[in-house]
């Protein structure tokens, strides 16, 4: 039905073959042998359907539709209402919407919803939704196509940064309808307005709540233009309990509360042959004029095919920053799809003319050549996604950092999970302080560090003023008083809270040293060690304690949510990435290695209280921590295992929620053989790469041209490191500095089939830790 040459993405293979046997599928898809794969453009190795299936106990929440790298528009089919959007296992498409967030953990967005039908106009979801089949579905970067089988309509989608383009092909002999049930969102619609203008345009707005139970609202303005005049039109205006009937010829409808259900439609008479209707939709978070200008600036005069080709070219450019050679077709698909998912968020919020809505609710302008970015899954992405973006998209990362600075200047605080221009206060810690500190230490200085430092320091030491929409660090007054978070004063993850805060404090210490702020750096160094106050020297676990200093009784380290956020004492005993040398010594090297080995001694992946959990961010650093305890060969072993068991070329091929690209970025870095458990330290732990050759094309402000990672032959069967050379010189340390990468050069691994227990195992070979430095 569709023209894509890739069977995996086009859905032309039976489900059993496609996803039960991905190796055979990849051979059919890419061609037997690897020569074709090496010469293919990166987009040919991306499958957007990966990660749209069922994760352990729940859905993964990724969307398969088109978007640009970090695009404002993330246009995709929705198979549900009041949920996450698209799920591979659901067999009905309700319609398509312009906004989504990639893999987050709460129902969200789904704004500016539309679909197509034939016959009489129907206004209820049950009457316009349609079954579909994966055999008539295609997804690739910049394109999504599907047959709505109920109506025999082919729907095709593509996108620019701020606009979507849709092509509906209707069957012969049937009237064609395009519906905009604008009240349909994936979260909580608070209001909407729709207006039919002339005979080619429908425009308006939808007002939705922020995600995860937040009652604050935002608006998305839209304008939808058609490639030819519609013959008739109308609106409807009802409630969720009594959906209104279509009212031909009416031009406006307004929804004032959550119970409203409004929409508009346009129709074309039946033809004796199949007819195609194309539409372009511009959106803006500022106003209707912004939506119109975005549409004119990015899509005017361009055909659907031209927009699709431009989108694909943009993805080829951004994915091509990392060029991998060798490996199996499945490994290339897993790698480039993970990189694709890492390049979606934070997403652009500023309009094409530079206007954007600030955290003060006012309209601001960003200078030409720059963008403002929103939707920061902070608690997740500070770990590996933002370090990855600093490497592969440094100029964007500078704009992202300045976006955080502007949040502070306009809104009054550095948030931890801001959505659009709203503080949601989801999760814990000060993750965006880690992001800003890491970016600056990486050498990215294209943002206002004077304001950034002020905002980060306030967040690390002060409570926010009362009555503000931002929360700051939990129990900060108690932290200042007793130097930990008392469990009887903060029930939500008291131990996790101080551990997360300590990571930010350590990052600010390193940044303060770099900025010459010695007194402030000393303060942050001392605070960075507060995590030790919840370490029990008797059982050698991090544990909750009350304000009087007493340990909370009946502690079970396998019990989740007992002083910990989305995890247990077993999960969080590894959550001190800035100071692991102290943890190793406090626990004792033998016990540390014994416990960490036991942590990975599970029969199969699962959400266990006492074993490694590959489905959440709390454990992402754990596989690399043998590098700190004298057993780096075990890190090499367990990283390969985690990759093989949890990252596959299937709809279930990403563990847990992707959380705006965090889980995917873990795979990207791990497959490259590099990972930083403490990004602000600039130390990147080494494990064995999956591919025999990886070339990172460096961009300004970095001085190097390329950084090349090479291995000896057949890394698939040789997962262990025997020796490493950096720019031709033997390298005994089991880590390298970030600036070793950005200067350009070559990192060569000699790999082996059996563990080499000498390389990188000496105490002086371990990565740096906070307690080894002098404040």
- pLDDT at residue 32 greater than cutoff 50: no
- Residue 183, φ and ψ in degrees, nearest 5: -75, -15
In DSSP notation, 474-520 reads TTHHHHHHHSS--TTT--S-HHHHHHHHHHHHHHHHHHHHHHT-HHH
Per the CB < 8 A criterion, the answer to whether 435 and 384 are in contact is no
Structure tokens at 77: 């089919």
In angstroms, the first-to-last Cα distance of the chain is 65
Query: What's the rounded Cα separation, in Å, for the pair 738 and 560?
Result: 35
Per the CB < 8 A criterion, the answer to whether 756 and 724 are in contact is no
pLDDT digits (tens, 9 = 90+) for 196-228: 999 999 999 999 999 998 899 999 999 999 999
Per the CB < 8 A criterion, the answer to whether 330 and 649 are in contact is yes
Per the CB < 8 A criterion, the answer to whether 419 and 346 are in contact is no
Closest CA relative to residue 100, chosen from 377, 344, 284: 344
User: What is the pLDDT, as a whole number, of residue 56?
Assistant: 55
Q: What is the CA radius of gyration of the chain?
A: 26
Of residues 21 and 590, the one with the higher pLDDT is: 590
| pLDDT category of residue 492 using cuts at 50, 70 and 90 | very high
pLDDT digits (tens, 9 = 90+) for 389-431: 999 999 999 999 999 999 999 999 999 999 999 999 999 999 9
DSSP 67: B
pLDDT digits (tens, 9 = 90+) for 506-518: 999 999 999 999 9
Contacts of 146 (CB under 8 A, 6+ apart): 77, 93, 132, 136, 137, 138, 154, 155
Per the CB < 8 A criterion, the answer to whether 736 and 707 are in contact is no
Per the CB < 8 A criterion, the answer to whether 178 and 279 are in contact is yes
pLDDT digits (tens, 9 = 90+) for 673-729: 999 999 999 999 999 999 999 999 999 999 999 999 999 999 999 999 999 999 999
Closest CA relative to residue 413, chosen from 461, 361, 459, 358: 459
Contacts of 127 (CB under 8 A, 6+ apart): none
Closest CA relative to residue 620, chosen from 676, 569, 568: 676
Listed range (58-67, 157-166, 282-291, 407-416) with the worst mean pLDDT: 58-67
Closest CA relative to residue 402, chosen from 455, 472, 465: 455
User: What is the pLDDT, as a whole number, of residue 105?
Assistant: 86
User: What is the pLDDT, as a whole number, of residue 240?
Assistant: 84
- Residue 495, φ and ψ in degrees, nearest 5: -70, -45
Structure tokens at 381: 């992405």
Closest CA relative to residue 657, chosen from 47, 11, 55: 55
* pTM greater than 0.85: yes
Structure tokens at 521: 């750096």
Per the CB < 8 A criterion, the answer to whether 104 and 660 are in contact is yes
- DSSP β-ladder status, 422-423 and 418-419: antiparallel
Query: What's the rounded Cα separation, in Å, for the pair 346 and 349?
Result: 9
- pLDDT at residue 72 greater than cutoff 90: yes
Per the CB < 8 A criterion, the answer to whether 255 and 192 are in contact is yes
Sign of the Cα torsion 530, 532, 536, 542 reads positive
Closest CA relative to residue 709, chosen from 344, 391, 383: 391
CB atoms within 10 A of CB 705: 11
pLDDT digits (tens, 9 = 90+) for 359-383: 999 999 999 999 999 999 999 999 9
pLDDT digits (tens, 9 = 90+) for 581-614: 999 999 999 999 999 999 999 999 988 999 999 9
Average pLDDT score over residue span 330-336: 98
* Percentage of the chain modeled with pLDDT above 70: 94
Query: What's the rounded Cα separation, in Å, for the pair 178 and 97?
Result: 13
């Amino acid at each position: 039905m569709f023209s894509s040459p890739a069977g995996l993405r086009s859905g032309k293979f039976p489900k059993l073959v496609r996803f039960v046997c991905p190796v055979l599928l990849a051979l059919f898809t890419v061609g037997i042998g690897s020569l074709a794969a090496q010469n293919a453009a990166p987009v040919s190795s991306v499958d957007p359907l990966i990660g749209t299936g069922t994760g352990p106990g729940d859905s993964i929440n990724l969307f398969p539709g088109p978007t640009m790298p970090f695009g404002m528009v993330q246009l995709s089919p929705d198979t549900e209402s009041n949920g996450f959007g698209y799920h591979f296992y659901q067999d009905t498409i309700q319609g398509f919407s312009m906004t989504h967030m990639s893999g987050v953990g709460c129902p969200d967005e789904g704004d500016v919803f539309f679909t197509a039908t034939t016959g009489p106009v129907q206004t209820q979801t049950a009457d316009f939704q349609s079954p579909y089949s994966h055999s008539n579905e295609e997804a690739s970067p910049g394109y999504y196509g599907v047959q709505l089988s109920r109506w025999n309509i082919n729907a095709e989608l593509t996108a620019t940064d701020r606009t979507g383009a849709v092509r509906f092909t209707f069957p012969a002999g049937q009237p064609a309808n395009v519906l905009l049930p604008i009240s349909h969102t994936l979260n909580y619609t608070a209001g909407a307005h729709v207006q039919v203008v002339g005979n080619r345009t429908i425009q308006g707005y939808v007002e939705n709540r922020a995600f995860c139970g937040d009652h604050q609202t935002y608006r998305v303005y839209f304008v939808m233009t058609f490639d030819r005049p519609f013959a008739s039109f109308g609106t409807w205006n009802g409630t969720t309990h009594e959906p209104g009937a279509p009212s031909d010829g009416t031009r406006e409808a307004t929804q004032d509360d959550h119970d409203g259900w409004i929409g508009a439609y346009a129709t074309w008479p039946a033809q004796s042959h199949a007819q195609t209707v194309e539409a372009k939709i511009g959106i803006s978070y500022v106003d209707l004029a912004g939506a119109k200008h975005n549409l004119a600036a990015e899509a005017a005069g361009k055909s659907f095919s031209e927009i699709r080709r431009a989108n694909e070219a943009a993805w080829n450019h951004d994915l091509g920053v990392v060029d991998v050679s060798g490996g199996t077709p499945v490994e290339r698909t897993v790698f480039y799809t993970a990189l694709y998912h890492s390049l979606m968020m934070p997403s652009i919020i500023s309009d094409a003319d530079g206007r954007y809505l600030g955290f003060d609710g006012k309209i601001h302008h960003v200078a030409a050549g720059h963008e403002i970015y929103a939707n920061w899954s902070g608690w997740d992405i500070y770990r590996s996604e933002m370090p990855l973006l600093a490497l592969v998209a440094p100029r964007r990362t500078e704009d992202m950092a300045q976006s955080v600075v502007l949040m502070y200047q306009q809104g009054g605080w550095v948030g931890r999970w801001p959505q659009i221009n709203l503080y949601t206060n989801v999760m814990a810690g000060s993750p965006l302080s880690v992001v800003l500190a890491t970016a600056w230490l990486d050498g990215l200085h294209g943002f206002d560090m004077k304001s950034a430092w002020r905002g980060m320091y306030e967040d690390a030491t002060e409570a926010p003023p009362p009555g503000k929409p931002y929360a700051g660090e939990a129990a900060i007054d108690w932290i200042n008083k007793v130097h930990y978070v008392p469990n009887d004063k903060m029930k939500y993850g008291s131990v996790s809270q101080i551990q997360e805060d300590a990571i930010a404090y350590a990052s600010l210490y390193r940044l303060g040293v770099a900025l010459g702020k010695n007194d402030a750096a000393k303060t942050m160094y001392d605070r960075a060690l507060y995590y030790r106050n919840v370490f029990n020297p008797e059982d050698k676990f991090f544990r909750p304690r009350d304000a009087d200093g007493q340990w909370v009784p009946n502690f079970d380290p396998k019990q989740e949510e007992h002083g910990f956020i989305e995890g247990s004492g077993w999960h969080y005993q590894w959550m001190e990435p800035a100071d692991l040398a102290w943890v190793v010594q406090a626990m004792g090297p033998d016990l540390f290695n014994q416990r960490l080995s036991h942590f990975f001694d599970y029969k199969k992946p699962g959400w266990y209280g006492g074993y490694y959990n590959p489905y959440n961010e709390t454990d992402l650093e754990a596989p690399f921590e043998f590098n700190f305890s004298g057993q780096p060969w075990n890190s090499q072993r367990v990283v390969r295992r985690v990759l093989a068991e949890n990252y596959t070329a299937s709809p279930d091929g990403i563990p847990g929620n992707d959380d705006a690209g965090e889980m995917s970025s873990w795979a990207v870095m791990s497959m490259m053989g590099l990972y930083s458990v403490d990004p602000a330290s600039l130390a990147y732990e080494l494990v064995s790469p999956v591919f025999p050759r990886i070339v990172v094309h460096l961009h300004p402000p970095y001085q190097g041209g390329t950084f090349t990672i090479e291995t000896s032959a057949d890394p698939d069967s040789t997962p262990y490191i025997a020796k490493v050379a950096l720019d031709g010189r033997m390298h005994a340390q089991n880590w390298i500095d970030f600036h070793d990468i950005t200067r350009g050069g070559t990192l060569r691994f000699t790999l082996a089939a059996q563990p080499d227990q000498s390389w990188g195992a000496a105490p002086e070979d371990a990565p740096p830790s906070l307690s080894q430095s002098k404040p």
